[in-house]
């Protein structure tokens, strides 16, 4: 439950972009809440790469294109209308930040017209959320398969009855990652010397034995479409596509599972390089490091249908419903401005020609996928770092 904040929040008008949020969260949230939401696996390299690697994709603006007409940011996700090309990704225990928790997130999603994905580890029940859903609102439900499969079947029937429209099956977390800061808080929590990290407390019911063969069983338990969340390699993307999954969600769990994995934008580029046919036949979602409207544009230009916002809306909860709304409006405004500056007025007109992939990632796309590639990638990154520090070159392409 929410505890007293250590320090007062600044006025919401002072929040200019999403990068403003985490430093404030560190001061305002309880140590337990901040450790849980901000932490990632081990040294948190992956979490940081998720954010920084978007800067390796440059936008290519076209000029004199007449962008006076109204901006169109609307898309469809699984055939459902969304006013914006992003959604609120599943994050657990929202009441660690605000007493209204997930209910505030749902209300903002309805007001703005975006999809909300409810976490299996939410701080309220699906019934409580269903009771406040607007008539035409679209909600998905994120699922971890329970060790007791009967419990999973019961849950699927509940959420189907409660008007959720799709199941988002998380497949990248058979066990919790080693979240060092979260664990360190648990060790130093003098109020409960026996406490585990929040992540470990949440994960005890998950089925570590879940495998590809179980997916046909899962499909038979629900009439809802299933999205596989946690795709991180072309091999798994291709196999998922081959067994009939056409809704695939690229995610590395916000860097919270394995630290030494690629950023989601690098995963996206590798998948497009390796299996473009399967990619074009799927509806692809992505999350990881989205901190501004430019990152949204880049993902859409590279073929992603919509992106997920996780930590940012949660930090917005420091101000309750109004704060979450502010977070989404910031991204919407950045998206609208940069879309026009690109020479477009509709997100549906975005294509690969709207982005430039700088040398390191460009090399990844053109190279064959073999053992030597990884050695050369390291050399390329070293070269980029050297050029960035020792040259007057403005842009490496």
pLDDT tens digit sequence for 25-56: 999 999 989 999 999 998 999 999 999 999 99
- Clarify whether residues 117 and 152 are in a common domain: yes
Residue 172 has pLDDT above 90, yes or no: yes
Taking residues 324-332, report their average pLDDT.
99
12-49 CB burial, b ≥16 within 10 A, e <16: eeebeebeebeebbeebbbebbbbbbbbbbbebebbeb
Is 158 annotated for ligand binding? no
Provide the H-helix boundaries in the chain: 21-28, 31-38, 45-52, 101-112, 126-130, 149-161, 180-188, 198-202, 214-219, 234-242, 264-274, 276-280, 293-301, 311-316, 321-341, 359-366, 371-390
- Identify whether the C-beta of residue 278 lies closer than 8 Å to the C-beta of residue 237: yes
Containing structural domain, residue 252: 12-351
- Clarify whether residues 43 and 74 are in a common domain: yes
Q: For this structure, is 19 an active site residue?
A: no
Q: Which residue in 45, 59, 44, 52 sits closest to 19, CA to CA?
A: 52
- Identify whether the C-beta of residue 256 lies closer than 8 Å to the C-beta of residue 248: no
In a domain, 269, yes or no: yes
Angstrom distances, CA of residue 155 to CA of 113, 118, 143, 144: 26, 13, 9, 10
- Clarify whether residues 286 and 202 are in a common domain: yes
- Clarify whether residues 260 and 373 are in a common domain: no
| pLDDT tens digits, 73-103 | 999 999 999 999 999 999 999 999 999 999 9
Is 304 annotated for ligand binding? no
Q: Using 50, 70 and 90 to split pLDDT, how confident is the model at 181?
A: confident
Query: What does the block give as tokens for 98?
Result: 């605000």
Predicted pLDDT of residue 202: 64
Is 253 annotated for ligand binding? yes
- Clarify whether residues 31 and 165 are in a common domain: yes
Residue 2 has pLDDT above 80, yes or no: no
Taking residues 184-193, report their average pLDDT.
57
- Clarify whether residues 346 and 364 are in a common domain: no
Is 9 annotated for ligand binding? no
Q: What value does the mean pLDDT of the chain take?
A: 89
Cα angle, residue 253 at apex, residues 315 and 25 outer, rounded to 5°: 20
Q: In the beta sheet, which residues pair with residue 75? A: 82
pTM of the model: 0.88
Q: Using 50, 70 and 90 to split pLDDT, how confident is the model at 176?
A: confident
Q: In the beta sheet, which residues pair with residue 167? A: 141, 226
- Clarify whether residues 364 and 339 are in a common domain: no
In a domain, 7, yes or no: no
- Clarify whether residues 346 and 362 are in a common domain: no
In a domain, 94, yes or no: yes
- Identify whether the C-beta of residue 143 lies closer than 8 Å to the C-beta of residue 170: yes
In a domain, 6, yes or no: no
Four-CA torsion 379, 362, 18, 130, nearest 10 degrees: -120
Predicted pLDDT of residue 359: 57
Pairing of strands 75-77, 80-82: antiparallel
Instruction: Please enumerate in sequence order all residues whose Cβ is within 8 A of that of 158, keeping only pairs 6 or more positions apart, or say none.
Output: 126, 127
| pLDDT tens digits, 95-128 | 999 999 999 999 999 999 999 999 999 999 999 9
Is 232 annotated for ligand binding? no
CATH of the domain at 293: 3.20.20.70
- Clarify whether residues 134 and 264 are in a common domain: yes
Is 91 annotated for ligand binding? yes
Is 249 annotated for ligand binding? no
How many Cβ atoms sit within 10 Å of the Cβ of residue 362? 16
- Clarify whether residues 271 and 397 are in a common domain: no
| pLDDT tens digits, 139-164 | 999 999 999 999 999 999 999 999 99
Predicted pLDDT of residue 382: 47
- Clarify whether residues 387 and 267 are in a common domain: no
| pLDDT tens digits, 218-248 | 999 999 999 999 999 999 999 999 999 999 9
- Clarify whether residues 256 and 372 are in a common domain: no
Is 346 buried (19+), middle (13-18) or exposed (0-12) by CB count in 10 A?
Answer: middle
Residue 392 has pLDDT above 90, yes or no: no
Is 256 annotated for ligand binding? yes
In a domain, 1, yes or no: no
Angstrom distances, CA of residue 57 to CA of 187, 294, 340: 40, 10, 18
Is 389 buried (19+), middle (13-18) or exposed (0-12) by CB count in 10 A?
Answer: exposed
Residue with tokens 């409960």: 192
Using CA atoms, how far apart are residues 285 and 204, in angstroms rounded to an integer? 27
In a domain, 276, yes or no: yes
Q: Of the residues 58, 253, 369, 390, which is catalytic?
A: 253
Q: Using 50, 70 and 90 to split pLDDT, how confident is the model at 182?
A: confident
- Identify whether the C-beta of residue 269 lies closer than 8 Å to the C-beta of residue 361: yes
- Identify whether the C-beta of residue 166 lies closer than 8 Å to the C-beta of residue 227: yes
Cα angle, residue 230 at apex, residues 226 and 236 outer, rounded to 5°: 90
Give the total number of structural domains in the chain.
2
Q: H or E segment at 243?
A: none
Predicted pLDDT of residue 251: 98
């Amino acid at each position: 439950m929410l505890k007293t904040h250590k320090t007062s929040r600044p006025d919401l008008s002072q929040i200019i972009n999403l990068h403003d949020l985490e430093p404030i969260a560190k001061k305002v949230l309880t140590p337990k809440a901040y450790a849980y939401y901000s932490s990632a696996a081990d040294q948190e390299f992956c979490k940081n790469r998720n954010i920084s690697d978007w800067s390796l994709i440059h936008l290519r603006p076209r000029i004199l294109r007449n962008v006076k007409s109204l901006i169109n940011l609307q898309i469809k996700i699984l055939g459902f209308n969304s006013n914006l090309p992003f959604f609120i990704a599943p994050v657990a225990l929202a009441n660690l930040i605000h007493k209204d928790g997930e209910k505030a997130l749902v209300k903002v999603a309805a007001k703005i017209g975006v999809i909300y994905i409810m976490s299996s580890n939410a701080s309220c029940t699906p019934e409580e959320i269903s009771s406040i859903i607007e008539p035409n609102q679209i909600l998905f439900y994120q699922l971890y398969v329970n060790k007791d499969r009967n419990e999973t079947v019961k849950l699927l029937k509940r959420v189907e009855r409660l008007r959720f429209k799709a199941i988002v099956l998380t497949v990248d977390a058979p066990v919790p990652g080693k979240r060092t800061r979260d664990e360190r808080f648990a060790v130093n929590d003098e109020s409960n010397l026996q406490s585990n990290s929040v992540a470990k407390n949440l994960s005890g019911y998950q089925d570590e034995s879940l495998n590809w063969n179980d997916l046909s069983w899962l499909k038979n338990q629900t009439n809802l479409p299933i999205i596989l969340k946690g795709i991180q390699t072309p091999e798994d993307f291709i196999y998922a596509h081959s067994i009939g999954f056409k809704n695939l969600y690229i995610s590395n769990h916000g860097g919270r599972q394995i630290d030494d994995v690629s950023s989601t934008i690098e995963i996206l580029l590798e998948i497009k390089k390796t299996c473009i046919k399967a990619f074009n036949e799927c509806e692809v979602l992505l999350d990881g490091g989205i901190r501004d409207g430019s990152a949204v544009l880049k993902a859409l230009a590279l073929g992603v249908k919509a992106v997920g916002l996780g930590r940012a809306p949660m930090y917005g909860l420091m101000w309750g419903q109004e704060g979450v709304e502010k977070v989404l409006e910031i991204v919407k405004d950045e998206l609208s401005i940069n879309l026009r500056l690109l020479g477009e007025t509709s997100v549906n007109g975005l294509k690969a020609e709207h982005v430039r992939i700088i040398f390191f990632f460009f090399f990844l796309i053109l190279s064959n996928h073999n053992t030597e590639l990884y050695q050369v990638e390291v050399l390329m990154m070293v070269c980029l770092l050297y050029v960035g520090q020792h040259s007057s070159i403005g842009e490496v392409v």
